[in-house]
Amino acid sequence: MRFLITGSAGFLGAALANHLVREGHHVRGIDDLSTGNPDAMDDAIHFTRGDINDRPKLWTLLQEIDCVYHLAARVAVAESVLYPKEYNAVNVGGTVSLMEAMRDVGVGRVVFISSGAVYGEQDSQPLKENATPNPGSPYAVSKLASEFYVHTIGRLWGIDTVSLRVFNAYGPGQGLPVAHPPVIPNFLRQAVKEGTIVIHSDGKQTRDYVFVDDVVRAAVSAGSVPGINNLIINIGSGVETSLRELVQMILHLTNSKAEVIYNPRSDPGVLRMCADLAKAKEVLNYQPQVSLEEGLQLTLEKDKRFHTKVTAA
């Protein structure tokens, strides 16, 4: 098949693009490289540096494409609180630009990578797709709005649409920006250098951590299986893990004596998050294959940034 991946130099985008290329597919990618890493992509990927709102460029890249994976987005929750206009322009505006370009060219399917963040605080767990969204940040709002645009434009113009609500993805190669780094690579970095792990609030808040390879498997299925038009599907591990449990697992795996500090005055965010995977199993035959402990070990082994301590452990 012939695929276009937006955000192809990002953490998930590059992993997906590399997997599809290894399977023998033709893969084009577009990324503005504001946060992506072009070196993460296989040389066989036909990469173009560009803006997701550049419709003429999209028209060119979409020629003869069978399916689009839409991952281009700004993704830092805390940053979105400061810059909601920018998040709306890229995440929502970029999604609309892509859907219009797909309509113009005649591309038949798009898989939109959404986020479990759209659920926000909920009274019950695990989270089912029919729960009423309660987004708690401009980032979450932008993902929810994009879902509505994707599915609405798809229905109006006969484009098959699927939205995958991906929970807390992690794995080798995940970015570590100075401001607002993701939890797992940040904690791993502090552990291997015997630094300080800072936990917001009391650390009892829970998340659903899903390994990158499991996300890629789900995305590949969503791009090809029939009969899933207009569906929203959770992709996670189905396991609820507290920050305290995560830290203890990381300290054990790295044999680290890093200091753990709790900041009781900081906002813990949503108190609980865990994905219900019944729909993913039914329609995508999705079953996560990598446990959190296994995924952390694989990340430590495959990501050279964490090798200072691992080889000695």
Count other C-beta atoms under 10 Å from residue 130's C-beta.
Answer: 8
Q: Which helix (H) or strand (E) holds 209?
A: strand 209-211
Decide the pairing of beta strands 206-207 and 241-242: antiparallel
Distance CA 92, CA 73 (A): 9
Count other C-beta atoms under 10 Å from residue 139's C-beta.
Answer: 25
Distance CA 110, CA 67 (A): 6
User: Which residues make Cβ contacts (< 8 Å) with residue 160, sequence separation at least 6?
Assistant: 108, 109, 110, 154, 228, 229, 230
Distance CA 41, CA 47 (A): 9
Q: Catalytic residue among 87, 119, 139, 286, which? A: 139
Q: Please name which of 182, 39, 4, 217 lies closest in space to residue 109, comparing C-alpha atoms.
A: 4
User: Which residues make Cβ contacts (< 8 Å) with residue 26, sequence separation at least 6?
Assistant: 1, 2, 3, 46
**Is-contact 211 171, C-beta < 8 A?**
yes
CA distances in angstroms from 292 to 6, 170, 173, 248, listed in the order given: 28, 10, 16, 12
**Is-contact 71 10, C-beta < 8 A?**
yes
Q: Please name which of 15, 244, 45, 227 lies closest in space to residue 113, comparing C-alpha atoms.
A: 15
Known catalytic membership, residue 83: no
Q: Is 10 exposed, middle or buried, given 0-12, 13-18 or 19+ CB atoms closer than 10 A?
A: buried
Active site residues: 139
